[in-house]
Amino acid sequence: MSPTSMTTATASQAVTSSATGRASEPPVPFVDLAAQHTALRGEIDAAIARVIDQGQFVLGDEVARFEAEFAAYCGARFAVGVASGLDALTLALTALGIGPGDEVITAANTFIATALAIVRVGARPVLVDCDPETLSIDVGQVVAAISPRTRAILPVHLYGRLADMPQLAQLAERHGIALVEDAAQAHGAALDGRAAGAWGAAGCFSFYPSKNLGALGDGGAVVTSDAALAEKLRTLRNYGGQTKYRHELAGFNSRLDTLQAAVLRVKLPHLDEWNHARRQAAAKLRELLTVSPSPSLPLRGDESIRLRALPRDAEFPIDHVQHLFPIEVDHRDEVARRLGDLGIGVAIHYPTPVHLTPAMAHLGYQPGAFPVAERAAERLLSLPLYPEIRDEQLQRVAAAVRSAVGSS
């Protein structure tokens, strides 16, 4: 879940569910971080105690070790820990020398942070629509949007599924522009065996608590295999210098907190098993929701529930990590309200596309500019999905969705 998404159903609600026929059942929360933390509590407590005992609260060994471990996990040479996903994107663009007068192409259907980072460095976000089937950035529209001012393409691996990186990488190379990945929702995802974050000049991650790899607060990282870029990022995140009171660049205070790095080191070894559990839960939910004989295919347009952002298994060996499980429905807000009443936590990713967000009004885009993104914003609904979700909870989610859609 992203910080601004809408959610319903709190863990304290107990509801009467007509969807499943049982009298009173506990709600199914949208995310359940307590389940993950209960299992790791002893190790997390020990990691925090270790930092307190060492007394090194800013950067230091824990951050350096996490960076090495996370870089290796992504199949990249370096990772630079920063304060958030937004900062990862902002620092990556800054380190690549992108600024006023430059254009960066990105998707209209993403969390605001993607576009905000471009605005922060003084460049202009050039938005394009998404593919109606996968909801990933539409490569054809990226091609059409390239201008002499374009300095980077910034695809987003939305919902845990990689964008069409082979084509985007080729395109970036052909035009001599940078490829920067927003991998905030895709820790551990891969395409053709190459991990999210390892495709572009820089891969930007968020460790917001509900991400596939989440800290106990804010955190982020930029992954790169470019030694000079990594060095610049390390300098930028630390007031523009790596030696005290020597400042080569006009930098930031944006370091990955040492306590968070220690916690992330406890969690990282579990990421693959968590992603596997997410995939299994998603497969189960698809099966429960699908009336089509082929559960790996989206339902046809005339069905009332349309499954979205699926891996096109047959065409691409995409390793989807199911950060989210969005479905597409008619009367979305009404369905969301009914699911809330039935005790099912839901969220919307995202209710307003970037170009219609007030903070981006200065870009001058009008309603109708990106019809696929606008339709997605009106019709998508994310269902509960996390590694610890139980079969019985998935069954309740599916039954509730059928009931809410049927009566809408």
Asked if 382 interacts with ligand PLP (CB under 6 A), we say no
Name the token pair of 172. Answer: 């970036």
Closest approach, Cβ 381 to ligand PLP, in A, equals: 17
Nearest by Cα to 238 from 52, 63, 49: 63
Contacts with ligand PLP, 147-176, as mask; x by CB under 6 A: ---------x--------------------
Total interface residues for ligand PLP by CB under 6 A: 17
Binding mask 69-98 for ligand PLP (x = CB under 6 A): ---------------xxx------------
Q: Which residues within the stretch 256-275 sit at the binding site for ligand PLP (CB under 6 A)?
A: none
Q: Answer for the pair 346, 322: CB distance below 8 angstroms, yes or no.
A: no
The answer to whether the CB of 74 falls within 8 A of the CB of 203 is yes
How many other CB atoms are found less than 10 A from the CB of residue 291? Answer: 11
Q: Please state whether beta strands 78-82 and 220-224 pair in parallel, antiparallel, or not at all (unpaired).
A: antiparallel
Q: Is there binding between residue 254 and ligand PLP (CB under 6 A)?
A: no
What is the DSSP pairing of strand 220-224 with strand 305-307? unpaired
What is the smallest separation between the CB atom of 9 and ligand PLP, expressed in angstroms?
21
Q: Judged by CB, which is closer to ligand PLP: 5, or 408? A: 5
User: Which DSSP helix (H) or strand (E) runs through 127?
Assistant: strand 124-128
178 pairs with which residues across the strands?
A: 152
CB 87 to ligand PLP: min, Å: 7
Encoding tokens for residue 235? 């300098």
Q: CB-wise, 27 or 203, nearer to ligand PLP?
A: 203
User: Binding of ligand PLP at residue 322 (CB under 6 A)?
Assistant: no
The three-class DSSP label of residue 49 is helix
- Residue 119, amino acid: V
Residue 106 CB, nearest approach to ligand PLP (Å): 10
User: Pattern 3-22, binding to ligand PLP, x per CB under 6 A?
Assistant: x-------------------
Is 262:54 a contact under the CB 8 Å cutoff? no
Among 113, 154, 162, 335, binds ligand PLP (CB under 6 A): 113
Q: Which is nearer to ligand PLP, 117 or 329 (CB)?
A: 117
Of residues 184 and 266, the one with the C-beta less far from ligand PLP = 184
Quick check: 121 binds ligand PLP (CB under 6 A)? no
Beta strands in 155-245 (DSSP E): 178-182, 190-191, 194-195, 202-206, 220-224
Torsion of CA 400, 401, 405, 406, to 10 degrees: -50
Q: Which residues would be at the binding site for ligand PLP (CB under 6 A)?
A: 2-3, 84-86, 110-111, 113-114, 156, 182, 184-185, 206, 208, 218, 220
